Structure formats: C-alpha cells, structure tokens
Amino acid sequence: MGSKLPALTLSHLTDLVSTPSTLLPQLQSLEPRATITTIDPSTTETLSTYYTLYILSLILADDLPEARALTHRIDSQLFHNDPLVISAYRILQAVWSKDYVAFHQTMQGAPWGDLTAVLAQRVLQKHRTTTLSLLSTAYTSIPPDVAQKYLGIADEPRTVKVLVEENPEYGWSLNDQGFLVKSESAVGGLKRQERSKVGEIGRLAVLGGFLSDV
C-alpha cells in the first residue's frame, strides 16, 4: 500500500508557518491532499489558507514560473471566488509585471488572516529591502515622493526616515532642496561621469527588473 497522504488542517499549517526554512517543501508535500479535498463550507478556509501560503512561499523563493503554474492547478471555484487566493494571485501578477502600485495596493487591501499575514509581511519586507538596494544602485539623488512610490510607504516623512535613519548604510540624506541624496562615500567606486550617462529610462529599467532578478 502507498504511504498515507499528510493531513491538511489549519493547525498543521500554523505549525509549518513557524518554521520558514522548511515551509515551502512542506506545502509542496501537501498538494496531493489539497487536490483531492472537496471544497465545501468545512474545507474552504483551510484550502484558501493553504493555497495563499503556497503562492506567497513561491514568491519568496523567487520561483515565479512555478507560482504561475500553481494557479492553474487550483480548483476554479476557489481560484475565482476566494478573496485570499485572488489577493495572492494579484500579488503574483504585480511581481511578475513589476507593477509597484498594484503590488502595494493589493498588499494593503487584502483580507489577510493570521497565518497569511505572516507570509504577506515577509513578501512585503523582501520587496522593500530589494527595492531600497536597487534605488541606492540606480540613483544618487531622488525626490522623496518617487522613493515613496517604489517602497510603498504611507507618506514622505516616513520614507525619508526609512532611507536616512533606519538604513544609514546606504548613505542617504535630505538636502536643502528636499531631495534625497547619497554621500560620495556611498556612491563608492562608481565614477560620476559614468552615472551621468545613465538616463531616467535606464534607471527605471534597473528598478523595473528587480523582482525578477533577485
């Protein structure tokens, strides 16, 4: 006889989320069970939570092709009607298409539950960390409102605080004209004349590619 499929319950998912290093393989091992689970009022919450965690975990692992493939394996009834699964899919779409505005709007408006909020926060933090690194690579100066757009922060003062006070290693400061500027030491070995050749389109291309490159 074949081995018994692992149980798919909210309590089991809670245990899995507490161990990030093994979460994705554990979720993968549960897919056969999820596939044969009938969708009804007693299972919808569990399946919704499971597939949302699965999609977000694949985004965290930078496996966007598999995340997209997974969405085609989700039961259509759940995929088209469940608010959590729909939100996770929209996050995936935004990451895939590098749509910063849609990413942050979905993050803020999704009806995350206790478990899914944990993964959503990890995705958001990774997004911001990578964006901050690339902003610091692509720009030597930037208006706070532009940085705010990419980082998805609520207001400009908070954006300035994040760049200047909370991440001093990037060398940002606010000048008298209200621009965020990088110190000469933070610019490092990049020659000023080489940076001057990089136009706005080039800078945005660098930023636009970050989600698929990390």
Task: Answer whether 152's CB lies under 8 Å from 211's CB.
Answer: no
| Maximum mean pLDDT: which of 34-38, 149-153, 205-209 | 34-38
Are the C-beta atoms of 59 and 123 separated by less than 8 Å? yes
Quote the pLDDT of residue 183: 82
How many CA within 13 A on the CB side of residue 13?
A: 25
- Report how far apart, in Å, the C-alpha atoms of 134 and of each of 39, 62, 128 are: 43, 17, 10
pLDDT in tens, 166-203: 999 999 999 999 999 988 765 554 444 444 444 444 55
Query: 3-class SS at 141?
Result: strand
Assess whether pLDDT exceeds 90 at residue 72.
yes
Rounded to an integer, what distance in angstroms lies between the CA atom of residue 199 and that of residue 55?
35
Per-chain mean pLDDT for the chain: 86
10-213: CATH architecture: Alpha Horseshoe (1.25)
Residue 211 has pLDDT above 70, yes or no: no
**Strongest mean pLDDT among 69-78, 132-141, 145-154:** 69-78
Tokens matching residue 100 = 């910063």
Residue 5 DSSP one-character state? P
Note whether 13 and 53 are within 8 A (CB): yes
The CB density around residue 76, as the number of other CB atoms within 10 Å, is 8
The average pLDDT across 23-51 equals 96
What pLDDT does 213 receive? 38
